[in-house]
Amino acid sequence: MSAEGAVVVTGISGNLGRVVAKLLHRTERVVGLDRRPFPGKPKDVEHFQIDLRKKKTEEVFRRLPVKAIVHMGIMHDPRMSAEDHHSFNVLGTTRVLECAAKYGVKKLIVLSSANVYGPSPENSNFLSEEAPLMAASRFPSVRDLIEVDMLAHGFFWRQPSVETVVLRPVHIVGPTIKNAPSNYLRLKRPMRLLGFDPMVQLIHMNDVGEALVAALTPGLKGVYNVVGPGEVPLSACFSELGAAPVPIPHPLARSLLGRLFKFRLASYPPEELDHIQFLCMVDGARWRSESGWRPRLSMRETIRGVLSDLA
């Protein structure tokens, strides 16, 4: 991208935000928006510590010419109150979309997730971008993530003047990532479900960062699944990481985890078990062929990347 204007990165203080800032700041004017501080930020990155829902967000757009937005200011923390969660994600995204339309931003990239399809025993092995977003049918608290995806998708059709890209990457892992799959794979003695060993897809945060940068390419727009180096049985991740999983029959695991979660002894609710029981894999062929992006890391490096920094 060479045209004049800044690239606004929401959620820049998160893991992925920092990866994207590092990849972009030498060639672009990067402006970060996050309610968290950004320690260790590169000198040439401007950071505004504001809540996306607030009026101040618009002020940034009013003051600066913005050519592109990378919207990652979306959170998924099952401990947060549903109301707060929903308001932050949905209202924050709405505000970003409004600004994109109002201030003539050329490019909008929204980071969604392949989890929006939801794991199910009836899923096809590889879901395409047209598959219905069913995740909330079994796990209502991901409703707002689906809503964010659909807001962006709707914006894609409503605002043809903005090149909108919605990326739905598979499970993102990385040494500092705190999402459910990374936390789970870091356990030494994780619970696994007796008799289930679904195929899973993982992608390293650095590869996602490069995909987000690739999405800035002028002309590229649409909704894309982003698949990392491939598919492995969940058990292969455990052996690669030297973990010794404890098999538990699934009905028991559900009630057990339900109780542990309620008493704050587990960091994820029982609905997350669907991911280690059923398939939720996607087909990333469209993204690869239209963007030319390829993951840099092999499957082995990606799995190991859960634990240690690859540098």
Partner 1 sequence: MGLSDSIKQRLRRWTLSMTGDDLDERLKGHRSQNEYGVDPFGFSLDYALSAVGPLVWLYQHYFRCQTFGIEHVPAGRVLLVSNHGGQLPFDGMMIGVALLTEGKPPRAIRSMVEKWVGSLPFVSTFFSRVGQIVGTPENCRRLLHNDEAILVFPEGIKGISKLYAQRYQLQEFGLGFMRLALETKTPIVPVAVVGSEEQAPAIVNLETVGKLLGMPALPLTPYGVPFPLPTKYRIYFGEPLTFAGRPDDDDAELEKKVKVVKASIQSMLEKGLAERTGIFS
Q: Which residues of this chain interact with partner 1, rule CB under 8 A?
A: 120-128, 193-199, 230-233, 235-236, 249-250, 278-279, 298-300
Minimum Å gap between C-beta 142 and partner 1 is 20
Which of 218/249 has CB closer to partner 1? 249
Minimum Å gap between C-beta 180 and partner 1 is 21
Is 49 in a helix, a strand, or coil? Answer: coil
Minimum Å gap between C-beta 253 and partner 1 is 11
Which of 137/176 has CB closer to partner 1? 137
Which of 23/232 has CB closer to partner 1? 232
Which of 236/256 has CB closer to partner 1? 236
**Per-residue buried b or exposed e for 103-141, using 16+ beta carbons within 10 Å of the residue's own CB:** bebbbbbbbbbbbbbbbbeebeebbebebebbbbeebeb
Which of 49/239 has CB closer to partner 1? 239
Minimum Å gap between C-beta 235 and partner 1 is 5
Contact at 8 Å (CB) between 170 and 228?
yes
Minimum Å gap between C-beta 178 and partner 1 is 26
Is 176 in a helix, a strand, or coil? Answer: coil
Minimum Å gap between C-beta 300 and partner 1 is 6
3 vs 299: CA distance, rounded Å: 36
Which residues are CB-contacts of 210 (< 8 A; sequence separation ≥ 6)?
A: 23, 293, 296
Which of 90/127 has CB closer to partner 1? 127
- Whole-Å CA distances, 180 to 51, 58, 280: 24, 32, 15
Dihedral over alpha carbons 265, 270, 275, 278 (to 10 degrees): 140
Question: DSSP letters along 271-308, please?
Answer: GGGGGGTSB--B--HHHHHHH----SS-HHHHHHTTTS
